[in-house]
Amino acid sequence: MLCCEVLGNLGDHGFAAGLGDFDVDHVDIDWHEAFKKLHRKTSEQGREVGIRLGDWVLSRGLSDGDVLGVVEGEGGCGADGRAAVAGAGAGGKKTVVAVRLLPTKCLVVDVAEDHPFMLAKVGWEVGNTHTPLFYGEGAYQVLCEYSEPLERLLSGAHAVELTVAERVLDPARRVSASGHHHPHGEGHHHGEGGHGHDHGSEAGAAALSHGRCHDHDHGPSSHGCCHGHDHHGE
C-alpha cells in the first residue's frame, strides 16, 4: 500500500471515534526517520507499506499515533490518502495503519522546581549543539537524544538531575523557540482531551521559551497528495 499524508492522529479522540470499529497495524519509525519524506516499511501485521510525504514532514516530523492509511479488506489508502477515510463507514472492522515511534537513548533532564530558569540554561546549552529538545513528563522535565558531550556539559549544572533512559522522542512534543509550537498543516487533527499536552507552570514554559533561541521554526506546513508511482527511499 502507498500512503501519502497523515490523515489524523489516534490521540485525537474525535478523529478516532469517527473511524468506528478498527484494529491498529503499527508501522515502526525510528526517531531519525521521523523527518524523512520516503519510507519503505513492513508493518507489524506484515503489510508492505510505502510512505511518500510532502516537504512539510522535514520540519513537522511524524508523531506517534499518526494515521497513514485505513484499510477495508485488501487495499491501500488511495492515491490522495483521504479516499479510504471518506469510505470508512461501509461496515465491518477496518485496519488503521499508524506510526509507532520507537524509543531511543535519551538524556532525561529534571530541573528543581525552585530553580525554574535553569530550564533556560538547559535550553541554551542544548540549543548550542543544535540537538532537538522535547517536553518530558512534567513542567520541569525535558528530554534530548543522548550524547556523551551533552551529558558531560549538563552534569555540572546547578539544580539539574540527569538520567539516561530509553524514551520516545515525539516531534509533537518538541520545544521550539516560541515555546510549544505545533507546525501541523491541514490534515492533522488534534481534539480536546486528545493529542494536546499540558506542560505545567508558566515559569517553566517561559524559561524554555527564552532558552531555545537556537531551535528554528520553519513556519506552517502543507500536507500534499502523491500521485504516480511508489519510490523506494530513506
pLDDT tens, position by position, 78-122: 444 443 443 444 456 899 999 999 999 999 999 999 998 999 899
CB 23 within 8 A of CB 1: no
Q: Enumerate the CATH 3.30.70.790 domain ranges in the chain, comma separated.
A: 103-173
Q: Enumerate the CATH 2.60.260.20 domain ranges in the chain, comma separated.
A: 2-76+91-101
pLDDT > 70 fraction of the chain, expressed in percent and rounded: 66
Class for the domain spanning 2-76+91-101? mainly beta
Identify how many contiguous H helices and E strands the chain contains and give both numbers: 6, 13
Could you tell me the pLDDT band of residue 206, with boundaries at 50, 70 and 90? low
Could you tell me the pLDDT band of residue 204, with boundaries at 50, 70 and 90? low
Alpha helices in the chain (DSSP H): 13-18, 57-60, 83-86, 118-128, 148-155, 202-211
> What's domain 103-173's superfamily in CATH?
UreE, C-terminal domain (3.30.70.790)
Residue in the structure block whose three cell numbers are 524509543: 103
pTM of the entire predicted model: 0.69
- The CA-CA-CA angle for residues 75, 78, 84, to 5°, reads 80
